[in-house]
Amino acid sequence: MASPLTLLMPIIPGTNPMVIAAALEKYNAQIDTALSSIGTVHYARFLLLDRSVPNLQPGAAASNELVLAVITEYDGTFSKYIGDFVAQIGDVFNALLAFVVGGDAVIPVQNNVAAFNAFVTANDASQHFPNNGQTTPTAPTQPGGGLYQAYPQTVQVILASV
């Protein structure tokens, strides 16, 4: 069963979204290679949002309300997943976290794995009410956290069948 991650990271006010877009473009091939190598990621994407506009679509100008999202589904445990990312693309996260409010506290992620894990947990909307399948803030988390899954197979089972 896959698990969701919806990491929402507020960007330092005044940051130009084009700078973030350029960083993402610079690391795109490295990210894709790492995701394939890790072998537990069903889907993943980075998404830049602007909370200052009704439809959340960022423009090209600097904003005080940008949020960088990492939206993904993965197999295995959260700790292993984060550990794999640190090992494979820790430098990419170091570069992106330089734009994030509070990101300096976990850079370099390779030397701050526990702090990075805690940072991701604190900013993962999938792990918090109401996105985690809870009916109230104090109810137990439901398995799958409200994630619909069309198939029960892992990435490795799927790749082996194609």
pLDDT per position as a tens digit, 15-28? 999 999 999 999 99
Percentage of the chain exceeding pLDDT 90: 79
Query: Residue 78: helix, strand or coil by DSSP?
Result: helix
User: Average pLDDT, stretch 102-113?
Assistant: 97
Average pLDDT, rounded, for the chain: 91
pLDDT of residue 138: 75
- pLDDT value for 144: 59
Cα 63 from Cα 21, distance rounded (Å): 14
The neighbouring-strand residues paired with 15 are 63
The whole-number pLDDT of residue 7 equals 97
Helix/strand/coil for 5: strand
C-alpha distances in Å from residue 106, one per residue of 21, 30, 44, 81, 109: 22, 21, 22, 17, 5
Interval 111-155: pLDDT, tens = 999 999 999 999 999 888 777 777 777 766 665 566 778 888 999
Amino acid in the structure at residue 140: P
pLDDT reported for residue 142: 62
Residue 100: what residue type?
A: V
d(CA 16, CA 73): 28
- Residue 10: partners with Cβ closer than 8 Å, 6 or more residues away: 66, 67, 100, 101
Phi first, then psi: give them for residue 91, nearest 5 degrees: -65, -30
Distance CA 151, CA 49 (A): 30
More confident residue, 93 or 137: 93
Please state the pTM of the whole predicted model.
0.90
* CA-based nearest residue to 65, from 55, 78, 75, 80: 55
Q: With cut-offs at 50, 70 and 90, classify the pLDDT of residue 77.
A: very high
